[in-house]
Amino acid sequence: MAYLLDANVFIQAKNLHYGLDFCPAFWNWLIVNNNNQKVFSIEKVGDELEAGNDELAEWTGEQGSNFFLKPDSAMLSALGKVSTWATAQNYDPAAINTFFQVADYYLVAFAIGHKHTIVTHEIASPSIKKIKIPNACIGLDVKCITPYEMLRKERARFVLGTHSGSPAP
């Protein structure tokens, strides 16, 4: 099983708990697990991140298409299933149109096409104003977890080591 990361995983990691400047272990963990074919995202998420024009955009650009996967036939064939589900729900037309234009739509389709688990900070919502990834995952039988659930399941460890200039324990 592999994981597909939503844009908010990267953005919140950078802005909150795992800043690129003080927690490189998180970012290295992502790279190592991508090399082991366990952690990915999709090109559309990469495009959203690169539009930020910051250190996260730079990191994203360094990872390339091995991390941010390009659309493929499995994903493209699943788009119809996602589209059919979204239009059959009670969402506002604006919510549906927005969903079809953002990376979330493609992320869910990629997960269906490859049987991957989606990782996101989003939570399901009864609102008809926005289609949330967890709602689509519930409706389409796609596994969806938080980044912390992924890290625990994969037994990630970010252990503080000795560093010159740091006091010894």
Q: What is the pLDDT of residues 101-139, one digit of tens each?
A: 999 999 999 999 999 999 999 999 999 999 999 999 999
Residue 119 domain flag: yes
Q: Which residues pair with 3 in a beta bridge?
A: 39, 117
Q: Which of 15, 35, 36, 19 has its CA nearest to residue 27?
A: 19
pLDDT lower than 70: segments of the chain: 162-169
User: What pLDDT, on a 0 to 100 scale, did the predictor assign at position 165?
Assistant: 52
Contact criterion met (CB below 8 Å) for 168 and 132: no
* Beta-carbon count within 10 A of 60 CB: 23
Residue 100 domain flag: yes
User: What pLDDT, on a 0 to 100 scale, did the predictor assign at position 168?
Assistant: 47
Residue 164 domain flag: no
Number of domains in the chain: 1
Residue 138 domain flag: yes
Residue 158 domain flag: no
Q: Domain range holding 52?
A: 3-153
Residue 163 domain flag: no
Lookup: tokens for 98: 């927005």
Residue 166 domain flag: no
Residue 48 domain flag: yes
User: What pLDDT, on a 0 to 100 scale, did the predictor assign at position 169?
Assistant: 47
Write the CATH number for 146.
Answer: 3.40.50.1010
CA–CA gap between residue 45 and residue 165 (Å, rounded): 37
